Structures are given as structure tokens and as C-alpha cells.
Amino acid sequence: MTRTGVMALAERRLAWLEQRQQVLAQNIANADTPGYQPNDLAPFARTLESAAASLTQTSPLHLAAAGNNRAQRDRAAVESSPSGNGVSLDREALKIADTDQAHALALALHRRWAAMYKTALGRGT
């Protein structure tokens, strides 16, 4: 059931969002660390493009490409405190809220498709 396009995409998006939430939480945890520069993940669309270009899944038994989900320096962070810390709690809070909304959307999509499969199989909702 999870190997269909929409379900697999929703699962990948959920995994990416979980990892992004961890990176953003680390940024907030280091908001007072002198010299710390915030990190973020590459946009999800770029992650999908790099995974599609690098590997092709030729069998349903093969593992899907993981993509490059490593945290990298956040180029949008231009301000810094006198200690050299570049974390803006306002900007990080906005990113966390955006990530939370995207997570809710991907989870709802995954649940709807799963319910549709159950209905199609005659197992109810």
C-alpha cells in the first residue's frame, strides 16, 4: 500500500519535515551559544530532484533513494548578535510553524489515501 506515488511522496515529506523540525530545534537550543550559525535543510523540492536524478527504483523490492537531507548553513540568516550568534528566534519560530502546517497537511493526505484504499478493499473507513 505504501509504494504508490502519493503515499510514498507523503511518507518522504513526513520524514523530511521530521528531520527539519530536529534541525530547527537545534538552532533554538543554541540561540545563546557564541558564534553559532543556524542550519536548515535544502528545500523538499530540491531533495526530490536530487533523489530522482541520482537513483532509479527499478523494482518494488529496492529501497527508495534517501536524497541529501543533511543540514546546511542557513543563508537567510544575515543578522547576528554581538557574540556572533546568528539565530533569530522569530525567524526560527516562523519556520517551525510552517513545518508544523506542512506536517499536518502531509499527514492528512496520507490518512485520506489510506482510508480510500481501505474503502476500495471493502474494509470500511
Q: Could you tell me which residues come within 8 angstroms of residue 11 by beta carbon, excluding any fewer than 6 positions away?
A: 2, 110
Report residue 2's pLDDT band, with 50, 70 and 90 as the boundaries.
very low
Dist. CA 24–CA 38, nearest whole Å:
8
Dist. CA 25–CA 31, nearest whole Å:
10
Where does residue 20 rank: exposed (0-12), middle (13-18), buried (19+ CB within 10 A)?
buried
Burial letters 31-64, b for 16+ CB under 10 A, else e: eeeeebebbbbbebeebbeebeeeeeeeeeeeee
pLDDT at 91 over 90: yes
Write out the three cell numbers for 6: 502519493
pLDDT at 79 over 70: yes
pLDDT digits (tens, 9 = 90+) for 60-72: 665 555 555 678 8
pLDDT digits (tens, 9 = 90+) for 32-55: 999 999 999 999 988 888 766 555
pLDDT at 113 over 90: no
The residues facing 40 across adjacent strands are 72
Provide the whole-model pTM: 0.74
